[in-house]
Amino acid sequence: MSKVLVIGAFGQLGSELTLALRNIHGTDNVIAADIRKPQGPLSDGPFEQLDVLNGKELGRIVNVHNIQQIYHLAAILSAKGESNPKFAWQLNMDSLINVLELAREKQLEKIYWPSSIAVFGPNTPKQNTPQNTVMDPNTIYGISKLAGERWCEYYFEKYGVDVRSLRYPGLIGYKAKPGGGTTDYAVDIFYKAIEKGNYECFLRPNTYLPMMYMDDAIRATIEIMEADHASIKVRSSYNVGALSFSPEEIALEIKKHLGDFSIHYAPDFRQEIADSWPDSIDDSQARTDWNWQPDYGLKKMTETILAGLGELLNA
């Protein structure tokens, strides 16, 4: 069994992905690393406290645990990044370069690094955005993800580092909250619908964005990492799609279950970010190369989240 390190293990994606990886590789073989201390089900396995900017400490952890695979998830997201662009750039880029360098030096088996639909910008075609197209991101997060994609491909081409990546749409789960993203409204709306019966949305009602339910995101991540080396033809990052909806549409879907739910709109600076991103994604290359297939549409996702979150909040 390979020893795996998950950096950013207590984030929205990391907390679910770490548990899924522990089911596959065994709890003791998956080391959770985060700047925060572990809580809940993740406290059961091995943990290292890590500031991703500390390359020396990262090297120590890789040596001590004999790590062969790294999932590097730590990042500052689109909305938060705008409040301190220089720090967002430093954290997102320097941490990736630390990981890629370590992978090259120690000839690690595989690296996973997430990119995002934020790599696209206002001049990118909005509908069914292709894998290869105009990319002119205008958030520091998007700029760092686009540069990161180029670094990943560079390390693959020049040094043979087996790095794999997905351009995630907005990820929607209920077990851990996201922080600092533009698509976060689509998680928050479920919490507020159950807790308060109403939601103030920071985007306009007709703002379409590509989204994905967390179970699909975890499966996509594991599938690309388990795919044959030769089938991974894109070494920057793959478009992956699942569903696309607007705040108005998800509010209507929630209202089918919670009849009194109401939403009102108070767009803020995040509207401009959302307007620069695609409405929907063409992920045909991921479907062809490693058989990507989403499972959750809006109806199934809404039913699943309302049931699961209801139980969680009651407990």
| Window 159-178: residues binding ligand AKB (CB under 6 A) | 168, 170
Residue 278 contacts by C-beta under 8 Å, 6 or more apart in sequence? 117, 120, 124, 125, 126, 127, 129, 209, 210
Q: Measure the CA–CA gap between 122 and 134, rounded to whole angstroms.
A: 9
Whether the CB-CB separation of 250 and 296 falls below 8 Å is answered with no
Q: Which is nearer to ligand AKB, 24 or 298 (CB)?
A: 298
Q: Which is nearer to ligand AKB, 174 or 261 (CB)?
A: 174
Q: Which is nearer to ligand AKB, 111 or 240 (CB)?
A: 240
Q: Measure the CA–CA gap between 220 and 28, rounded to whole angstroms.
A: 23
Residue 194 contacts by C-beta under 8 Å, 6 or more apart in sequence? 258, 306, 309, 310, 313
State the catalytic residues: 141
Is residue 68 within the footprint of ligand AKB (CB under 6 A)? no
Is residue 276 within the footprint of ligand AKB (CB under 6 A)? no
CA 189: distance to chain centroid?
19
Query: Contacting ligand AKB (CB under 6 A), which of 19, 58, 77, 163?
Result: 77
Is residue 301 within the footprint of ligand AKB (CB under 6 A)? no
Whether the CB-CB separation of 160 and 110 falls below 8 Å is answered with no
**Structure tokens that stand for 211 in this block:** 């989204």
Residue 204 contacts by C-beta under 8 Å, 6 or more apart in sequence? 247, 265, 267, 271
Q: To the nearest whole angstrom, how small is the minimum distance from the Cβ of residue 181 to ligand AKB?
A: 3
Is residue 117 within the footprint of ligand AKB (CB under 6 A)? yes
Q: Measure the CA–CA gap between 193 and 67, rounded to whole angstroms.
A: 42
Count, residues near ligand AKB per rule CB under 6 A: 11
Is residue 78 within the footprint of ligand AKB (CB under 6 A)? yes
Q: Which is nearer to ligand AKB, 141 or 213 (CB)?
A: 141
Query: Contacting ligand AKB (CB under 6 A), which of 14, 181, 278, 294?
Result: 181
| Window 118-137: residues binding ligand AKB (CB under 6 A) | 118
Q: Which residues bind ligand AKB (CB under 6 A)?
A: 77-78, 116-118, 141, 168, 170, 181-183
